[in-house]
């Protein structure tokens, strides 16, 4: 096996490994309902994998151009298309996760507001009941 074939084999392995890691990160982003900091860390890891894949594709493309191998060039085009689809999935997962986090934050905020409103209503009812009881006692005393 000559050095070019060895380099191509190594690049293919690196591309496959990074692509699988990117897919795993995308799944993690899809499942992320946690704090925004967790989403940001997943995003930075995903962007790192995307830039690594681009670097590998550039190296692969350079070797294909040097050897003037059309099959390798077609392979690079297919791999770039696969990366484009993964990037679309990455963006969609981010949007989904951001909406989920935003929705959860809104629900938590509204839940807290509702709890405070319920407490105020309860206190108001308690005061109203005290006034009614007091009025009833006063009326009963007057009737005696």
Task: Give the end-to-end CA distance of the chain in Å, rounded to a whole number.
Answer: 114
Check: CB of residue 15 under 8 Å from CB of residue 56: yes
Model confidence band, residue 123 (pLDDT cutoffs 50, 70, 90): low
Q: What percent of the chain has pLDDT over 70?
A: 77
**Average pLDDT score, the chain:** 87
- With 80 as the cut, is the pLDDT of residue 135 above it? no
Q: What distance in Å separates the CA atoms of residue 130 and residue 102, rounded to the nearest whole number?
A: 42
Summarised one tens digit per residue, pLDDT across range 23-78 is 999 999 999 988 889 999 999 999 999 999 999 999 999 999 999 989 999 999 99
- CATH number of the 3-115 domain: 1.20.58
- With 60 as the cut, is the pLDDT of residue 113 above it? yes
Count of helix runs (H) and strand runs (E) in the chain: 3, 0
Which pLDDT does position 95 carry in this prediction? 92
Comparison of pLDDT for 123 and 84, the residue scoring more: 84
- Nearest Cα to Cα of residue 50 among 13, 102, 103, 91: 91
Which pLDDT does position 111 carry in this prediction? 77
Per-residue HEC secondary structure of 16-61 comes to HHHHHHHHHHHHHHHHCCCCHHHHHHHHHHHHHHHHHHHHHHHHHH
Is the overall model pTM greater than 0.85, yes or no?
no
Which pLDDT does position 24 carry in this prediction? 98
Which pLDDT does position 54 carry in this prediction? 97
Which pLDDT does position 116 carry in this prediction? 66
């Amino acid at each position: 096996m000559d050095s070019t074939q060895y380099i191509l084999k190594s690049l293919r392995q690196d591309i496959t490994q990074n692509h699988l890691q990117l897919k795993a990160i995308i799944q993690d982003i899809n499942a992320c309902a946690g704090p925004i900091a967790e989403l940001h860390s997943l995003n930075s890891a995903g962007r790192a994998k995307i830039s690594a894949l681009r670097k590998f594709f550039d190296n692969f493309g350079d070797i294909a151009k040097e050897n003037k191998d059309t099959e390798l060039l077609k392979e690079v085009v297919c791999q770039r298309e696969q990366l484009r689809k993964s990037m679309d999935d990455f963006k969609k997962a981010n949007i989904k996760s951001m909406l989920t986090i935003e929705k959860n934050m809104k629900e938590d905020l509204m839940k807290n507001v509702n709890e405070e409103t319920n407490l105020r209503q309860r206190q108001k009812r308690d005061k109203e009941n005290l006034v009614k009881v007091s009025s009833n006692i006063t009326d009963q005393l007057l009737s005696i």
